[in-house]
Structure 1
Amino acid sequence: MKHRLSRQEESSMVRFVPFARIGVMLAHSLLACTLVAQEPRGTILGRVLDPTGAVIPNASVKVTNTATGVTVSALTNAQGNYLVPYLIPGTYRIEAEAAGFKRVVQDGLELRVNDRLEVNLTLEVGAVTEQVTVVAETPLLDTASASMGSVVDARRVAELPFPHGNPYHLIQLASGVAFAQNLTLDRPFEPTHIVGYTMDGARSNRSDVMLDGSVNSASGNTGTRNELISSWVPPADLVSEFKVQTAPFDATVGQTEGGVINVSLKSGTNALHGTAYYVKMAPELTANLFFSNRNNIPRGNFTYNRWGASAGGPVRLPKYDGRNRTFFMYGYEGIHEERPRGTTLTVPTEKQRQGDFSDLLRLGSQYQIYDPATRRPAPGGRFQVDPLPANIIPANRISSIAKNILSYYALPTVPGTADGRNNLPLPHEPEPITYYTHAWRVDHNFTDRHRLFVRVNVYKRDSHYNDWFKSAATGQWFQFLSRAAGLDDVYSFTPSFIMNVRYGYNRFIRTYDGNPKGRNFDLTTLGFPASYNNAIDPSIRRFPVISIDGYAGTYNGWLWRPTETHHLAASFDKIQGSHTLKFGMEARAYRENQYNPDHVSTGQFSFGTTWTRGPFDNSPAAPIGQGLASMLFGLPTSGYVDRRASYAEQSTVWALYVQNDWKVSRRLTATLGLRYEVEGPLTERFNRSVRGFDYTAVLPIEAQVKANYAKNPTREVPPEQFRVRGGLTFAGVGGLPRTLWERDANNFMPRVGLSFKLTDKTVIRSGYGIFFGFLGVRRGDVIQTGFSQTTQFIPSLDGGLTFRATLANPFPDGIQEPLGAALGPMTYVGQGISFFNTKPLAPYMQRWQFSIQREFPHRVVLDLAYVGNRGTHIETTRDLNALPVVYLSRTGERDQPLIDYLSANLPNPFYPLLPGTARAGTLISRATLLTAYPHFTSVSTTTNEGYSWYHSLQVKADKRFSRGYTVQVAYTWSKFMEATGFLNEGDPAPAKCISDQDYPHRLSLSWIWELPFGRGRRFLANANRVTSALVSGWQVQGIYAAQAGQALGFGNVIFRGNLKDIPLPKNQRTPDRWFNIDAGFERDSRKQLAYAARVMSFRFSGIRGDGINQWDLSVIKDTRIREGMKLQFRGEFLNAFNHVLFSNPNTSVTSTAFGTITSEKGYPRRIQLGVKLVY
């Protein structure tokens, strides 16, 4: 067994040692406090020299934004260095002067988001009244930083084609980035998916989203743990530019496992500027879906309109002229859309609703339905059942409740497959959506030493969808609300000592409810007893949730979840000799409330094959039909009613930071930083939460259970070894703290970066840093077992010989009410439980890079980089109550004798001590008695055993705009491996495999080209007015993205072939046969594995789904109205060549659809036509 380091040892080796290595260099900089986080503005720094190259101390430097006229002053220190930080992106002029020298002025410096421009100025001997003006190009090489990232400049944001005006679509242009979500979820009001990018080996939705330096992210926790979403997506016309920082080795960056999406909004200028636009997407200009064409389904009709406006300029009031001082910016955007939301469902046929399954039986004996009324004991602890004659249920045995429920189902519209699947295609179901957003920003400059801005933004989205049956049984009404504000203040105490304080707040509300037809639903109209109906509060009563094996179900969810984030930061910049010191503090508070009765507060009933399979209870199930038959008999397999507690949870983060940007020589710059973060444990305002698990808790039922067990023990567990111990603990109960875990206070993050200027045109850069992830609210929600209460549907206590609960009386013992923590460790005994690890370690990433940057003529910069990433302490989930692997079969084939042995029914030692639970029956399987905690169905917890690693070659070429065009290319070749799951729950370590977010090849290309015709261009510049109007102002632009598909896996299956035979050559792959289904898979459902150790990997790198291959093109025509005003006509062709992007193929070996694809995860060609007034 491998030795595992203790927590103390690991902390010392992994975290302290890197800190110690740089501690000597940083000791003089470890001042009182720390950081401001991810910075959206830029910095101009450099030296002032005389003609001999000697430094000039006390030279005056002025940096002026040419659009606003705002000037910031600085003085050079004794080493001739100056520093001007916190400058908004834009074009700047620099002036420098000193006694005995001519004033020098350098114009046209382009400063981009998060830039550190090194601008050295040389003064000529002469009088200060003399001036030397230099028009020089902006430095293109990054000589002051080792961080990796890509800037999406203002022109790309304004002019490239992308859907719905969503600028985050351009994140894909960065190297080291891959898209890991569904391309159809690309609208600005789909916050979970629009930032679903993996960055340099960190999983998607783990990167921080910053807006003007403040947090613009919220906790997702919508089924995926450890997830961040974007609280607000600004309209493109409000975005100045943004930077995708994939490997930021700056100690100001924290609270992210991945990168940072750093967005800078526009501010007003001395001139009034703005836009007004309208965009239309018409169905006549949109291609049909691939599978709709294939099935002769015409393109659905839809409506799409988007409009908006922006305006910015100086604030002018009576007796106040805000030019050079006070500026405003405002933007609005609205969307109205009604589009088809397609799917294909399987619903019961008219004959099946009458109990007639004879058509299925004609397809083969595997579709035989068995009569639960004939169930009887059989040898070996089994049950035997007789076939249902002719596969037809007698009319007098069909549940009237089941028939009433099915009356809310839609009928089939096509025959579907041979066994009736996919018989309800719904390609054109409407999804109406309305959306609007407003944003305001005001900048004010008190003096050249003091400036401030304030931002406020809001949005609202309303929609409803999934109303498949046009009845109370289906449909969801959805709403998102967002409110946010930010304040930023910069003050210069001296020209070399600058402070920045900022505060950000955002509140994001996700709310939805079911179809209004199903609200306050009266269950007695379906035939349910009044006692059941009256036990549910009418205000939360909905149509019940029905789940039928092989068929579509019903759903009526209900949720109200507001989240809010507070972000406070202060930072200080001090230039001292050749060192630029940064230090400060950051605090974040994440809060989330939830009121979530959800659909299961009324009741959920599942109809599987347990009661209608045969001839024995462990016989393979039919491909379809048996679940529906179970429903018609009125015999759910399982079900429950929930009483769900609300919660109000919070976690906080504090961070300290210090960094030294050291100009070692004229060629070498070193960045030495240290960040320290402490994240407080999750708390619930009223302690309504599980805290952990007491592994040794003695339960009051143990003595009786052990006595019962001793009468019929298994041979594997002698009576004296049988234990009934362990139970939940609760926050603030029994002397335990109200915090849900112990604080991890060892999160030191060293950052080191080197930038060496090999020549004037070549820079070598390298960096290393540690980045800690998050726990708290962003990790997952509180666990409220006990405060929420589930009443289980218990159909039988004797394995189906008799039924105590049916649809006619589903909860004969009534609905159980929550007892909170009153039962102590007896809480939820007999059911499944989960709890957080009370001593977690924050996951962290070690990231490093080595790169060469080379400048070429025509403003071209080429970056060649190796980037690596190692993830440690990644959170995993274990079921501590899984059957030990020693009992699992390792034959590689279906081991029927072992299956019969482990699934055999034995006398239940818990009977009758746990009524109303999964341990209420008289019988229990042998496998259950062999688990560590047989009094629970599952015991799930989190661990920090996961790890990952990533290696990549990244190539980026960027030609900044000149000579009428700009081009940007990024290519990444990578491998992303991880070990975050267990093949078998009892395995000692997670299994290594290719990540499901491994995309080995990713290419992106963007360009803008002003056609060289007409006014101000190369050709026809002096044409007559008519010709000039026709040929002037044309430009074309586009984006191309190519990305490898996702790695696939098949589950725990029998495979007797060669894995290399599974993938098919590209020219042989079709939606009907994506891979070789005959390569050696055992597909007979009767021969599948059970109680078998899994050896097949989760995924295989050589077997992949479809990849991205998409061109987005556009044409723009600018028509000049007058000086400073133009009308712009735009045609945008998204997926211009109509390349279909298929969803992943079906990988269920027993499915008749195995290896086929029936849907797509991208849009067909869409054409957006727009007109925009720009002034």
Structure 2
Amino acid sequence: MNRICRNSMSVGPATSAGSWRETSVRMLVVLAVLAMQSTAAFAGTKGKITGRVIDGETGTSLPGANVLLVGTMLGASSNLDGEFLIVNIPPRKYTVQISMVGFQTQTVEGVSVKADLTTKLGDIVLYPQVFQGEEIVITAQQDLITKDMTATQAVVGADQINALPVEEFGDVVQLQAGVSAGRDGELHIRGGRSEEVVYMVDGVAVSDVYSGDIAVEVENSSIQELQVISGTFNAEYGRAMSGVVNIVTRDGGDRIGGSVTLYGGDYLTRANDVFFHLDDVNPLAVSNLQFSFHGPVPFTNRRLKFFTTGRVLTDDGYIFGEREFVPSDFSSFSADDSTQWAIQATGDGEAVPLRPLKKTTLHGKLSYRVSANLNVAGSLIWNDVETQDWRAEGKEATPENQAHNFHRFRLNPDGASTQFQNGYTALLSANHLLGTRTFYNVNLSAIYNQAESYVYDDPFDPRNQDQDLMQNVSDNAFFTGGTDPWQTRRSTRSLIAAFDLTSQATDVHQIRTGLEVRSHELEFEEFKIIPARNESGIEITPFQPALPPPESPFNNRYRHRPLEVAAFVQDKIELDNLIVNIGLRFDSFNPNAPVPTDPRDPANPDKRKDAGVKSQLSPRLGLAFPITEKGVLHFSYGYFFQMPLFQYLYANSEFEVEIGRL
């Protein structure tokens, strides 16, 4: 296949509310003391550069040499041993200039800095200056292996992404070792479930706590660096079991620039007997418009920079149906003699895409340099998606409900539901360099995600049809009438406040500590459209849509406000032949929901108690032992856990029991 152109509450009480508060206070005090003793943290969106300056003639160290990242206000001076260290560096490629009075200036180009990692320049050799203005320019060589990486990690920069023939950031992730994609594009890392992957943007987790998917999609043009971490993770990462996808977005840059991309195309295949309608080529079946602009805001002395990108994508997909039937058609295949079958087919026979996609995304970012040591940034990522997804959420796979199987709507495509998803992620961050070795980050974010699934927005729309029209065929046949009776609407709001502190306490120890509070609000509504009945309980004919009573298992509504608190402390020990990451993480989760006290009468609201609070301490340890320039040994240990997704945690949180089904 080628495309042209390119059910129940599972949280039990761990401790009482009072004991949880006491435990939480003790844990936070312990972590705070550890943080103060070690001077704290390393931001997940910054890297550092180290090196040593020596005299080319004598081989001795050169103290006082100036090291500058060209085009930035970042730099350092070498100490008495000639060593220098620059922290709090955003990931990308830099030109490093090393100068000293009486010596030739040396410039190192193409120095790549990666988030959470150390770039070692090694020995920088300066020779005495014979003529004024002499300068030596060299190009940095990237190591074959990253020696200070204690976990399995792949790092992809913006230049690499631009060179790849991919359209979505998920395509980039899928190219990394240990990553595979499922039938519907969901990502699996090291064989884990797709919901075991945590997605982070600019140091903030943006996974939808209901479904586990990324709350808003980030376009490739917005990415400065993408990291895929698998295996064991440092203490800074929580809620992850199989992998972490960490995205660092682009800043505006020093020059105004931009691009506009437009293309169209269609799908082609030789298997036209399998894929219906693909022999009819439509050059606009896939259409894509994308733009990107960036640079400094005029009249701000390059202190205020902007970046914006947007995309509008329409894709009919490669799976089509044929409108042989419409939802109101009635057919009966109950007779053994096929000549006695009743078939009403009033469709127009037109080809209809079964998995169309309409997507609009927008990303805007402003960054302002308040001073040489203080930077603030704000960004907004928004997307709106309309599709028909075979994984439509909220559908029960029960004998009475086969509407979750979209493929069965191939001949009655107008009866399938459509999924709508829109949301935004707003980020506000401040980065403050306290000295040459210490900085902190403050992040405030708001994440909103709304998803809906229905055939017609109004459940009482007369175009809704009886589900029995879909049950007039065998289990393995296409539907010849009817509409999907299920409607689902849900929204998730998350407010997040996070603080982390990083300090290069010594040349060997880099300490990081952080605290995060996440407040969620989850609203959910799901119901099944049923036939209306008169006062005598008899179904009204012709069919009129109605809703089940609130106590019915086919009518579910809830609102919950869970709360999460996390803290960690971590030490990165960098020796000549050994790298150690050691840390401790504390997580606390309050579901703010009741659970039944009597399993024989779960629906009784008077027999409930608070679910209680869960808390967990998780030690983390990672070792990297370089053995050659091409090889390194890794060892790691850690305790990892993940709270269930909210769609499972709060499923049937009304504790309704359906009589007669096991």
> Please, what TM-score do these two structures have when normalized by structure 2?
0.76
| Deviations, residues 74-101 of structure 1 (Å, cap 9, x unaligned) | 3556766544333223221224457887
Q: Is the 8 A contact 1:208 1:260 kept in 2?
A: yes
Cα distance in 2 for partners of 1:770, 1:433 equals 41
Partner of 1:583 in structure 2? 512
How far residue 326 of structure 1 moved from its aligned partner, in angstroms, is 2.5
How far residue 272 of structure 1 moved from its aligned partner, in angstroms, is 1.4
After superposition, where does 1:765-780 map in structure 2 within 5 Å? 765-770=633-638, 772-775=640-643, 777-778=645-646, 780=648
- Select the residue among 161, 167, 175 that pairs with 2:165: 161
Cα distance in 2 for partners of 1:296, 1:445 equals 55
Structure 1 position 752 matched with structure 2 position 622? yes
- Select the residue among 465, 472, 478 that pairs with 1:543: 465
Cα distance in 2 for partners of 1:462, 1:210 equals 24
After superposition, where does 1:1013-1162 map in structure 2 within 5 Å? none
Cα distance in 1 for partners of 2:494, 2:561 equals 10
Cα distance in 1 for partners of 2:490, 2:566 equals 27
Cα distance in 1 for partners of 2:74, 2:96 equals 10
- Select the residue among 307, 312, 323 that pairs with 1:334: 312
Partner of 2:201 in structure 1? 211
The one-letter amino acid paired with 1:496 is R
CA 735–212 in structure 1, closer or farther in 2 if over 3 Å, else same:
closer
What SS class does the counterpart of residue 216 from structure 2 fall into? Answer: coil
Larger displacement relative to structure 2 (648-657 or 429-438): 429-438
Partner of 1:651 in structure 2? 562
- Select the residue among 218, 222, 243 that pairs with 1:234: 218
After superposition, where does 1:491-890 map in structure 2 within 5 Å? 491-515=432-456, 519-521=459-461, 542-546=464-468, 548=471, 549-550=474-475, 551-552=477-478, 554=482, 555-589=484-518, 591-600=520-529, 642=553, 644-664=555-575, 666=576, 668-684=577-593, 691-692=595-596, 694=598, 726-728=600-602, 733=606, 736-737=609-610, 740=611, 742-756=612-626, 758-759=627-628, 761-770=629-638, 772-775=640-643, 777-778=645-646, 780-784=648-652, 787=654, 828=657, 831=658
After superposition, where does 1:243-642 map in structure 2 within 5 Å? 243-247=227-231, 249-282=233-266, 286-287=268-269, 289=271, 291-292=273-274, 298-299=279-280, 303-317=285-299, 320-322=300-302, 325-339=303-317, 341-342=319-320, 353=332, 356-359=335-338, 410=345, 428-429=352-353, 433-463=357-387, 468=409, 474-515=415-456, 519-521=459-461, 542-546=464-468, 548=471, 549-550=474-475, 551-552=477-478, 554=482, 555-589=484-518, 591-600=520-529, 642=553
Q: Is the 8 A contact 1:753 1:766 kept in 2?
A: yes
Cα distance in 1 for partners of 2:32, 2:205 equals 30
What SS class does the counterpart of residue 558 from structure 1 fall into? Answer: strand
Q: Is the 8 A contact 1:462 1:480 kept in 2?
A: yes
Cα distance in 2 for partners of 1:351, 1:428 equals 21
Cα distance in 1 for partners of 2:361, 2:244 equals 23
The one-letter amino acid paired with 1:199 is I
How many pairs are equivalent? 589
CA 139–44 in structure 1, closer or farther in 2 if over 3 Å, else same:
same
Cα distance in 1 for partners of 2:613, 2:556 equals 26
Cα distance in 1 for partners of 2:278, 2:202 equals 47
Q: Is the 8 A contact 1:519 1:543 kept in 2?
A: no
CA 651–116 in structure 1, closer or farther in 2 if over 3 Å, else same:
farther
Q: Is the 8 A contact 1:651 1:679 kept in 2?
A: no
How far residue 355 of structure 1 moved from its aligned partner, in angstroms, is 5.2
Structure 1 position 45 matched with structure 2 position 50? yes
How far residue 428 of structure 1 moved from its aligned partner, in angstroms, is 4.3
Cα distance in 1 for partners of 2:110, 2:292 equals 26
Cα distance in 2 for partners of 1:43, 1:669 equals 18
Q: Is the 8 A contact 2:277 2:320 kept in 1?
A: no
How far residue 277 of structure 1 moved from its aligned partner, in angstroms, is 0.9
Cα distance in 1 for partners of 2:604, 2:418 equals 35
How far residue 334 of structure 1 moved from its aligned partner, in angstroms, is 0.7
The one-letter amino acid paired with 1:694 is D
Q: Is the 8 A contact 1:207 1:256 kept in 2?
A: yes
CA 29–236 in structure 1, closer or farther in 2 if over 3 Å, else same:
same
Q: Is the 8 A contact 2:92 2:157 kept in 1?
A: no
CA 278–291 in structure 1, closer or farther in 2 if over 3 Å, else same:
same
How far residue 471 of structure 1 moved from its aligned partner, in angstroms, is 8.0
CA 82–648 in structure 1, closer or farther in 2 if over 3 Å, else same:
farther
CA 208–745 in structure 1, closer or farther in 2 if over 3 Å, else same:
same
The one-letter amino acid paired with 1:780 is Y
Q: Is the 8 A contact 1:559 1:594 kept in 2?
A: no
What SS class does the counterpart of residue 95 from structure 2 fall into? Answer: strand
Cα distance in 1 for partners of 2:188, 2:203 equals 21
Q: Is the 8 A contact 1:571 1:582 kept in 2?
A: no
Structure 1 position 149 matched with structure 2 position 90? no
Cα distance in 2 for partners of 1:560, 1:476 equals 13
Q: Is the 8 A contact 1:216 1:230 kept in 2?
A: yes
| Deviations, residues 431-457 of structure 1 (Å, cap 9, x unaligned) | 654322211112222333222222112
The one-letter amino acid paired with 1:158 is N
Structure 1 position 202 matched with structure 2 position 192? yes
Root-mean-square deviation (CA), in Å? 4.3
After superposition, where does 1:925-1004 map in structure 2 within 5 Å? 938=662
How far residue 300 of structure 1 moved from its aligned partner, in angstroms, is 7.1
Q: Is the 8 A contact 1:36 1:569 kept in 2?
A: no
What SS class does the counterpart of residue 494 from structure 1 fall into? Answer: coil
Cα distance in 1 for partners of 2:517, 2:322 equals 44
Q: Is the 8 A contact 2:201 2:248 kept in 1?
A: yes
CA 74–656 in structure 1, closer or farther in 2 if over 3 Å, else same:
farther
| Deviations, residues 21-52 of structure 1 (Å, cap 9, x unaligned) | xxxxx999654799879823432234445567
How far residue 472 of structure 1 moved from its aligned partner, in angstroms, is 11
Q: Is the 8 A contact 1:661 1:671 kept in 2?
A: yes
How far residue 346 of structure 1 moved from its aligned partner, in angstroms, is 12
How far residue 481 of structure 1 moved from its aligned partner, in angstroms, is 0.8
How far residue 597 of structure 1 moved from its aligned partner, in angstroms, is 3.9
Cα distance in 1 for partners of 2:51, 2:232 equals 22
The one-letter amino acid paired with 1:326 is L
| Deviations, residues 837-866 of structure 1 (Å, cap 9, x unaligned) | xxxxxxxxxxxxxxxxxxxxxxxxxxxxxx
Q: Is the 8 A contact 1:499 1:570 kept in 2?
A: yes
Query: Runs of 5+ in structure 2 lacking a partner?
Result: 1-12, 15-30, 390-405, 534-547
What SS class does the counterpart of residue 241 from structure 2 fall into? Answer: coil
What SS class does the counterpart of residue 161 from structure 2 fall into? Answer: helix
CA 433–168 in structure 1, closer or farther in 2 if over 3 Å, else same:
closer
| Deviations, residues 957-1003 of structure 1 (Å, cap 9, x unaligned) | xxxxxxxxxxxxxxxxxxxxxxxxxxxxxxxxxxxxxxxxxxxxxxx
How far residue 473 of structure 1 moved from its aligned partner, in angstroms, is 7.9
The one-letter amino acid paired with 1:663 is E
> Please, what TM-score do these two structures have when normalized by structure 1?
0.45
Q: Is the 8 A contact 2:451 2:490 kept in 1?
A: yes
Structure richer in helix, relative to its length: 1
The one-letter amino acid paired with 1:172 is Q
How far residue 593 of structure 1 moved from its aligned partner, in angstroms, is 2.8
Cα distance in 1 for partners of 2:523, 2:84 equals 51
What SS class does the counterpart of residue 590 from structure 2 fall into? Answer: coil
| Deviations, residues 517-556 of structure 1 (Å, cap 9, x unaligned) | x84146xxxxxxxxxxxxxxxxxx9534336352455413
Cα distance in 2 for partners of 1:34, 1:494 equals 12
What SS class does the counterpart of residue 736 from structure 1 fall into? Answer: strand
How far residue 231 of structure 1 moved from its aligned partner, in angstroms, is 1.6
Query: Runs of 5+ in structure 1 lacking a partner?
Result: 1-6, 9-25, 186-192, 222-227, 361-391, 394-402, 414-424, 523-540, 605-638, 696-725, 790-827, 832-916, 919-936, 939-1175
